[in-house]
């Protein structure tokens, strides 16, 4: 499956480079949804919530009312996960709060499963310089994604794995990393970060990994009509 991304900041649809530098502002959410209408799911990340400086809940409700949406950004409590479901999210993406410095935050994840169900949870398992990164990709913990992915299986229906080293840079992604992750778990895997070419998208789909696409779509590097045909 190919999943277009809508990232929200300051009430606008944006794209960032490595989660920090804003590279562009796009059309409004409804315009982007119309462009993405051929795709079965949309990924929505509230960057303001992820950075702890407010939220874009009105836009989340708008997007979720028009498309099947997996929504994340700043989900650090059970109440927040419930709120996103109430806003219409099909699934909730949880990142930072899923981890502690020494491993998986199993107590928190058990609470989430009890509240909204394992089938509605996706855990963000993001990597930079070979280590899992949290808190808007600004902090790393001394663990590799390959070491913990199996431990996440009781708590989610899938993982969102971002190759942060190349996120937003359109320089290609690390297909070997995704192959290692695919070999390590039976969970649904969604790949993100640096995916730039149709060949990369095809390679991910061939290994049964979904492709979440942002910058390459917004800049026109990847053509939506060609992607829809895949």
CA distance 89 to 176: 31
If pLDDT is split at 50, 70 and 90, which confidence band does 56 have? very high
Own/partner contacts of 79-85, CB < 8 Å, gap of 24 or more, are 81/112, 81/115, 81/116, 81/121, 82/115, 82/116, 83/57, 84/60, 85/116, 85/120
Token readout for 202 is 């095809």
> What is the rounded distance in angstroms from the CA atom of residue 136 to the CA atom of residue 49?
10
Active site members: 7, 126
Alpha-carbon distance of 45 to 42, in angstroms, equals 10
Angle at 78 between CA 16 and CA 184, to 5 degrees: 65
Q: What's the half-sphere exposure (Cβ side, CA atoms, 13 Å) at 36?
A: 28
- Report percent pLDDT > 70 for the chain: 100
Question: Helix axis angle, 78-86 relative to 106-116, nearest 10°?
Answer: 30
Q: What is the pLDDT confidence band of residue 81, given thresholds at 50, 70 and 90?
A: very high
pLDDT given for residue 51 in this prediction = 85
- CATH code for the domain of 100: 3.20.20.70
In angstroms, how far is the first alpha carbon of the chain from the final one?
9
Structural contact between residues 50 and 9, judged by C-beta atoms closer than 8 angstroms? no
> What are 82-107's pLDDT values in tens digits?
999 999 999 999 999 999 988 899 99
Q: How many domains does the chain have?
A: 1
Model confidence band, residue 163 (pLDDT cutoffs 50, 70, 90): very high
Q: How far apart are CA 122 and CA 22, in angstroms?
A: 25
Give the residue among 148, 168, 22 at the shortest CA–CA distance from 95. 148
Q: What is the pLDDT of residues 212-221, one digit of tens each?
A: 999 999 999 9
Q: Cβ–Cβ contacts within 10 Å for residue 227, how many? A: 19
172-183 pLDDT, tens digit per residue, is 999 999 999 999
Q: Which structural domain, as residue segments, surrounds residue 64?
A: 2-229
Query: Rounded distance, CA 17 to CA 137, Å?
Result: 11
Q: Are 106 and 155 in contact (CB under 8 A)?
A: yes
């Amino acid at each position: 499956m190919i999943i277009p991304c809508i990232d929200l900041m300051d009430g606008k649809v944006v794209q960032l480079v490595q989660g920090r530098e804003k590279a562009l502002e796009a059309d409004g959410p409804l315009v982007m949804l119309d462009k993405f209408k051929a795709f079965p799911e949309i990924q929505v990340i509230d960057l303001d919530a992820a950075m702890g400086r407010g939220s874009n809940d009105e836009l989340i409700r708008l997007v979720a009312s028009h498309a099947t949406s997996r929504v994340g950004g700043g989900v650090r409590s059970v109440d927040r996960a419930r709120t996103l479901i109430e806003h219409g999210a099909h699934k909730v993406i949880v990142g930072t709060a899923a981890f502690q410095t020494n491993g998986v935050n199993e107590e928190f994840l058990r609470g989430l499963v009890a509240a909204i169900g394992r089938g509605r949870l996706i855990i963000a398992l993001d990597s930079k310089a070979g280590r899992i990164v949290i808190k808007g990709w600004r902090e790393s913990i001394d663990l590799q994604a390959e070491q913990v992915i199996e431990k996440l299986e009781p708590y989610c229906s899938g993982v969102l794995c971002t190759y942060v080293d190349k996120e937003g840079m359109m320089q290609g992604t690390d297909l070997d990393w995704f192959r290692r992750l695919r070999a390590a778990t039976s969970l649904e895997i969604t790949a993100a970060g640096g995916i730039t070419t149709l060949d990369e998208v095809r390679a991910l789909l061939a290994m049964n990994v979904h492709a979440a696409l942002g910058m390459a779509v917004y800049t026109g590097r990847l053509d939506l009509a060609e992607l829809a045909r895949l």
